[in-house]
Amino acid sequence: MNARPADGIDVRLPELIVLRLRARRLARPAMRVAGIHAATHTSRFRGRGVDYAESRIYQPGDDIRQMDWRVTARSGKPHTKLFEEERERSVLLIVDQNPSLRFGTRVRFKSVQAARAAALIAWTAARNGDRVGALGFGGGIDAEVKPGGGVRGALRVLRALAEWDAAADRATHAPLSQALLRARRLARPGSRVILISDGFSADEAAQGPLSLLADHCDVAAIVLEDALELAAPTPGRYALHGDSGRMLLDFGAARTRADWQRWFARRRASLTDLFAKRALRHTALQTQEEPDVAIARLLGAEARGRGPGARSA
C-alpha cells in the first residue's frame, strides 16, 4: 500500500492541476500585432524570437540594425531583412530540487511551494498560447521537459514536478551554474526563463552562464523563503539535526540570533546579487504565501511595458 503524501511536505499532482483555475487572473489579454503574419503577442525580450523571411530594398524608417549587409554589398543597394513573427513564445522553468528546499516551518516546504509556483506559471503560459518546459536540478535530479504547447505541455511539466519531488535525494547537492549551462542549450532565443530557487545553490561560476543566457532570453527568478530563515526563533535552546549530527543552539544569546539571520541573508544574497548585476527581475515568495501575488509581481513588469532589465523586489 502506498503511503499517502503529507500535507505541505510532498508535491501532489492533483493540487498542481487545480491551480489551472487561477491562471486566468495572470494571463495577459490577447493581442494581435502587425507584421508579415499576425502573432498572439509581441516579444519585448532579448533575442528577436522571430524567423528570417526575406530581404527587400531599404525604406526610410527601417531599423538599421536589421540591415542585410551581404545583399547590400552584392547588389550595391541598401537592403533590410524582414522577419516572420513567432506565434508562440517558449517559457522554461528552472526548478531547484536541492536538499535545502526540503524545509519549511509555515504551511509547506519550500520544495512544495516551488512546484506550486512552477505549476501556476505553466498554466498561465498555456492559457497565453505559449509553450512551456522545465528543467530540474539538484537532489540527484538531472532531467528536462522540452517546451510543449497547450494543456498537454503544461501537464507534462506538472507530472515531472511531482516525479522529481518524489525521486529527489535529500543529500545530493548541485550548483546553479550547471543548471544554467543546461538551460542555455534548451532555451531558444527570445524565451522567457524563470528560475525558482531559495538561492542556496548559487555559486560564483553561475555569473558567466547567467549573463550568456540573459543576452538572448528574458530571465527572472522567484526566490523562496521561510519565516524561520528571515528571523531567529524565540529565545531558548533548540535541538537541531544536520549532516554532522545532533546539536544544541542557544537562541537566548544575541550573537547566535544575529549570526542566524546573517547566514541566511548571505545565502539569499548569493542569488539576488547575481541577478542584480545584470538588472534582472527577481521577487521573493514565502512558504505560507499563495504564489499568485509573487508571480503577478514578476509578470507585471511586462503588463506595464517595462523592459527586461526591470527589477522587482
Which three-class secondary structure string do you get for the chain?
CCCCCCCCCCCCHHHHHHHHHHHHHCCCCCCCCCCCCCCCCCCCCCCCCEEEEEEEECCCCCCHHHECHHHHHHHCCCEEEEEEECCCCEEEEEEECCHHHCCCCCCCCHHHHHHHHHHHHHHHHHHCCCEEEEEEEECCEEEEEEEEEHHHHHHHHHHHHHHHHHHCCCCCCCCHHHHHHHHHHHCCCCCEEEEEECCCCCCHHHHHHHHHHHCCCEEEEEEEECHHHHCCCCCCEEEEEECCEEEEEECCCHHHHHHHHHHHHHHHHHHHHHHHHCCCEEEEEECCCCHHHHHHHHHHHHHCCCCCCCCCC
Domain range summary for the chain, segments of one domain joined by +: 13-28+88-303, 50-85
**Per-residue pLDDT at 65:** 83
Which residue numbers in the chain have pLDDT < 70? 1-6, 28-53, 83-88, 242-243, 301-313
**Per-residue pLDDT at 244:** 72
In order of 14, 17, 289, the CA distances from 268 in angstroms are 30, 30, 18
> What fold characterizes domain 13-28+88-303?
Rossmann fold (3.40.50)
**Per-residue pLDDT at 247:** 81
**Per-residue pLDDT at 84:** 56
User: Of 269, 159, 284, nearest to 220 (Cα)?
Assistant: 284
pTM (2 decimals)?
A: 0.79
**Per-residue pLDDT at 25:** 87
